[in-house]
Amino acid sequence: MTAMRGKAWKFGDSISTDHIAPGRLFHLRSNLPELAKHVLEDARPEFASSMAPGDFVVGGGNFGLGSSREHAPTIIKIAGVSAVLAKSFARIFFRNCINVGLPAIICDTDKIDEGDELEVDLSRGKVINRTKKIELSFPPLPPVMTKILQEGGLANYIHKHGDFRLK
């Protein structure tokens, strides 16, 4: 996989799936491109209209807590975000990110500020903050998740392999 480059959009701690894909837009769930126009609206209303494809969502602790709605990482991906970085993730959201083919990266996001130019190299496990000229490392995913991510998500993975392969 080639390195991803873009600008950081900073969010605080405890960004919930209600911030990302609120229940009041429930009727747009079967119209994901439309729902994606509202991504993260209740955390930063200007985000969806101002971000550029390739940019990064950078959160604090417990990113993605709350509901199991896979629509949340899906619309982050559809909006063109290359990866979500956070100090920690809620369990279901993390798993959903990988399942929809959106890299979720656990690193020290205190070292990233709004607007910093970032480069992420998944295979080396590195985030390069080009603005601050520092490198952050992140832990590798369990092998099963790496495979799912490499195939572009769980549906593609199962389509290709027909089953789960742990090795």
Partner 1 sequence: MGKTLAEKIIGEHVGREVVAGEIVVTPVDVCLVQDGTGPLAINQLRKINLEKAANPQQTVLFIDHASPSPRKELANDHIALRQFARKTDCYVSEVGDGVCHQVINEYYTRPGDIVIGADSHTCTSGALGALGTGMGSTDVAIGIALGKTWLRVPESYRFVVYGRFQPGVYAKDLILHIIGMLGADGATYKSMEFCGETIENMEMSERLTMSNMAVEAGAKCGIIFSDKKTRAYLIAHGRGKSYRELRADEDATYERTYEVNASKILPTISFPHTVDNTRNIEHKDCQDVKIDQVYIGTCTNGRLEDLRIAAQILKGKQRHPGTRLIVVPASRSVYQQALEEGTLAILNGAGASIQSPGCGPCVGIHQGVLGDGEACLSTQNRNFKGRMGNPNAFIYLASPATAAATALKGKIADPREVIG
What residues line the site for partner 1 (CB under 8 A)? 14, 16, 18-19, 22-24, 26-31, 42, 61-62, 65-71, 74, 88, 90-92, 95-96, 99-100, 142, 144, 153-156, 158-159, 163-164, 166
Closest approach, Cβ 116 to partner 1, in A, equals 25
- Residue with smaller CB distance to partner 1, 55 or 70: 70
Closest approach, Cβ 30 to partner 1, in A, equals 5
- Residue with smaller CB distance to partner 1, 26 or 46: 26
- Residue with smaller CB distance to partner 1, 36 or 128: 36
What distance in Å separates the CA atoms of residue 37 and residue 50, rounded to the nearest whole number? 11
Closest approach, Cβ 77 to partner 1, in A, equals 13
Q: At what angle do helices 91-99 and 154-161 cross, to 10 degrees?
A: 50
- Residue with smaller CB distance to partner 1, 16 or 129: 16
Closest approach, Cβ 52 to partner 1, in A, equals 25
* DSSP 8-state assignment for residue 23: G
- Residue with smaller CB distance to partner 1, 84 or 118: 84
**Can you spell out the DSSP letters for 63-93?**
BTBS---THHHHHHHHTT--EEEES-B-HHH
What distance in Å separates the CA atoms of residue 152 and residue 42, rounded to the nearest whole number? 28
Among residues 3, 12, 18, the alpha carbon closest in space to that of 127 is found at: 3
Provide the 10 A C-beta neighbour count for residue 165: 10
